[in-house]
Amino acid sequence: MNNFKTIVGIEVHTVVNSKTKMFSATKSSHTDPVNQNINEIDIGLPGTLPSVNDLVVKKAICLAHALHMNIANTISFDRKNYFYRDLPKGYQITQQFNPIGTDGYVEIEVNGKKKKIHVERIHMEEDTAKQIREGDKVLLDYNRCGMPLIEIVSKPDINSPEEAMAYLTQLKRILTFCGEISDAKMEDGSLRADVNISINPYGSDKYGTRVEIKNINSISNVGRAIAYEADRQASLYLQGKEVTPDTRRFDDAKGETVYMRNKQAVDYHFMPEGNILPFALSDQFKQEALRQAKYTLEDIVKTLTDLKLDNKIITLLLDDYPLYKAFKKVLVATNDAQAAVTWVLVELVGLLKKDNKTIETVSLSKLEHIIEMIKIVQQGKINSKQAKTVIAEIYRDDKDPEAIIKAHGFKQITDPKELETLLRAIIQKNFAMVLKNQDRPERLEKMLLGQLMKDTQGQANPVISTNILRNILRESKK
């Protein structure tokens, strides 16, 4: 590969977060039982008329803005005509001639070097039905048919697997953080990537034959697929063999791209969609759309950086939007970034990993109970060790933290008089040790506090106890 340059362009289809489909009032959901969310518009019955989903238009405007694009002043739709079993109308409504966004970019950083990956266009369209294979049968789930999509088409500016993964990672962050345009989950099919790849010898201006790899199911697999396909094409060139313009898929178990079919040039006979008249986008409508995205991705990164969070923590939050929302909720309620990191990103995430679950399975009630627990820790009523027991029971049973504390007898001793009495008794009992270690105050303090914690089963408030002990020791020296 040292003799060849890899050239990659990526087409991304992302499902827009919306309660209804692109052109009908049917529920938009890919988790419902099959063929539940269908109406006459979705399956193209004669005489039906589509109606544009305003929310999707607004989210497309947010995306165009986040990608530094020119935003169209007029919205129009077109028909992409082809006959396939997953397309009941015999055509797909899309934006061929007047996309909502053009000429933008995504800035990435790989190995410390920044680069702009230019985005040629984004356009709105409707999804097709989902095909489910059972043996030699192909079944169709029309729940997906008509769901709102935005297609994002990059220019062939990507030159390595690492750049491709960085581009998709940054694009996914933009889609989730900037107005919650999409949940962008490749594992659920709400973000799908088709990769176009070719190679050409260094020094040559002629592009090699382009091969398409369809529907790769994870960002890491996009990197693996590009690396394999670039090597495969280079091997063919070096053997004097032809690279054919194929459509391939990626077999992640074998780490190989697999032939599907020869890529033929298809005339889709694009024509304007006669059932949806073009309409102007007013400045007021655009401003309403942009207000949905309260913050840019750069704003989010700056806020997290200003909290003095570790770069690994920031990356973790940027790559998991539901986790970020949970973290932010706890941060706002407690005003303590370190506590939010400790109890959400470390302890709670650790409990979830043991059960192979995600943060999305944590109910709002549990999160509220965790916030209450953190406030109790901040007040010094329980210590961190006790709090680990409390959060585990909140996670398991969604119990009130005060009830858990009471059941375990975790209530801390905070009465200064009671703590002073206990400490003086310990000093009296260990007076010989106190005399022996008078010249080593740190060691002496640690030993006496350790004995206090042992006698009280960890219930003595450490901060109050430490201050009282230091006062007693100062008095003894006098």
User: How does pLDDT run across 146-163, given as a tens digit for each residue?
Assistant: 999 999 999 999 999 999
244 forms beta bridges with: none
For residue 44, pLDDT over 70 is answered with yes
Torsion of CA 194, 200, 202, 206, to 10 degrees: -110
Task: Give the phi and the psi of residue 201 in degrees, each rounded to 5.
Answer: -60, 140
The mean pLDDT value of the chain amounts to 93
For residue 201, pLDDT over 70 is answered with yes
Segment 389-398 mean pLDDT: 97
For residue 293, pLDDT over 90 is answered with no
pLDDT of residue 263: 79
For residue 305, count other CB atoms closer than 10 A to its CB: 11
For residue 368, pLDDT over 80 is answered with yes
Residue 460 pLDDT level (bands cut at 50, 70, 90): confident
Residue 478 pLDDT level (bands cut at 50, 70, 90): low
pLDDT of residue 50: 96
Q: Do 102 and 70 meet the contact criterion of CB atoms below 8 Å apart?
A: yes
For residue 256, pLDDT over 80 is answered with yes
- In three-state secondary structure terms, 197 is strand
Q: Which of 177-181, 225-229, 418-422, 427-431 has the lowest mean pLDDT?
A: 427-431
Segment 390-412 mean pLDDT: 92
Residue 432 pLDDT level (bands cut at 50, 70, 90): confident
The H helix count followed by the E strand count for the chain is 16, 16
pLDDT of residue 355: 96
pLDDT of residue 439: 75
For residue 109, pLDDT over 90 is answered with yes
